[in-house]
Structure 1
Amino acid sequence: MLPLETFKLVVKSTPLVSIDLIVRNSEGKILLGKRANRPAKGNWFVPGGRVLKDESLEDAFNRLIIAELGLIKTTSSFKGVYQHFYDDNFCEEIFTTHYVVLAYEIEFNGELSSLPIEQHTEYKWFNEKELLASDTVHMHTKWYFQADKQADKTFK
């Protein structure tokens, strides 16, 4: 991990690469966690996290499914590349955050009580209609389920 001041400079200056996990259970419901940290603090959001320097995407994916869900292995389906722009960041200083996000869909049927609380204060299963209608689900999470916002591999 980078020293705090170096990481602030990175976030101020460059996009971050991250992996978001669109987690469904066997009933098709989507797992969301209430964000404990900025950006998007207090909103329901999909699990995920940053890709670290010198970490392959496969290693990052495997690290994140362990850290976020306690899974050792799982199959996944790549859903596309998204961009998330935030007016705030992880600290109290005023600067924006930009993520280039690789979204993967996976299945998980574990107990919510077993999930970690470092990044999310609580977890809940949502159906797509409920998720899209909620004022507390972050718009970047909603994009994964909105046809007009889904990843476009062509640029206009």
Structure 2
Amino acid sequence: MVKNAPLFSIDLVVLNEKREMLVGLRKNEPASGFWFVPGGRMYKGETIVEAFRRITEAELGNSFEREHFIMLGLYDHFYENSCFDESVSTHYINAPHLMLVDSTKLKLPLIQHDDYRWVPIEAVEADRTIHCFSKVFLSDLLSHLN
């Protein structure tokens, strides 16, 4: 499937009380070793509402309802490799969601990420350790915050 069709994913653009963005140090390909916003793939037969609940539970340690957050748009993510095979490219259609949350409500698991950090929004663009696909939505993010 990864070889022949795009995958649909949801990224979680989590901002804390100080309006800092959460990024995790990715363990898995694609983008292993980069700081990346949490997120995950949607499964066949799963609604976007169900996927959002599952992904927030898995990535943030707490289930959240999609209706309380803002989708920032749709973006293409093209990678030369995949989590299944270094020689198979990956195409994601990604729907990042802006989440303003109380950081004490998060129980960040170390399954997909080795570590987490909060980055001031103003510093994200210039930070070369943050993957470019965790920056593509910045103009949409800023328009929702202003």
TM range (shorter): 0.7 to 0.9
TM-score, normalised to structure 2's length?
A: 0.88
Q: Does 1:56 align with 2:47?
A: yes
Q: Deviations over 1:129-148 (max 9, x none)?
A: 2211111100011112146x
Q: 2:38 aligns with which of 32, 43, 47?
A: 47
Q: Which amino acid in the other structure matches residue 91 of structure 1? A: F
Listed one character per residue, the Cα deviations across residues 106-129 of structure 1 (whole Å, up to 9, x for unaligned) are 123335993111111100000122
> Does 2:135 align with 1:145?
no
Q: Does 1:88 align with 2:81?
A: yes
Correspondence list, 1:1-156, <5 A? 10-74=1-65, 75-111=68-104, 114-146=107-139
2:62 and 2:100 map into 1 onto residues whose CA distance is 10
**Bigger Rg over Cα:** 1
Secondary structure at 1:12's aligned position in 2? coil
C-alpha separation in 2, matches of 1:61 and 1:113: 15
Length-normalised TM-score, structure 1: 0.82
* Residues 77 and 92, structure 2, Cα contact 8 Å, conserved in 1: yes
| 2:29 alignment partner, SS class | coil
Mapped contact 1:112–1:123 kept (Cα < 8 A): no
Secondary structure of 1:41's match? coil
Once the two structures are aligned, what percentage of the paired residues are identical? 37
1:36–1:119 contact (8 Å) kept in structure 2? yes
1:58-113, CA deviations, whole angstroms, 9 ceiling, x for partnerless residues? 00001111111122335201111011000111134412100001111112333599
Contact 2:62 2:107 in 1 (8 A): no
State the secondary structure of the residue aligned to 2:63: coil
How far does the alpha carbon of each residue in 1:32-62 deviate from its partner, in whole angstroms, 9 at most, with x for none? 0011100000001010000001000000001
Following TM superposition, where does structure 1 have runs of at least 4 consecutive aligned residues deviating by more than 4 angstroms?
none
User: What count of residue pairs does the alignment treat as equivalent?
Assistant: 139
Is the CA contact (8 Å cut-off) linking 2:69 and 2:97 kept in structure 1?
Answer: yes
Classify the secondary structure of the residue corresponding to 1:114: coil
RMSD (Å), alpha carbons: 1.9
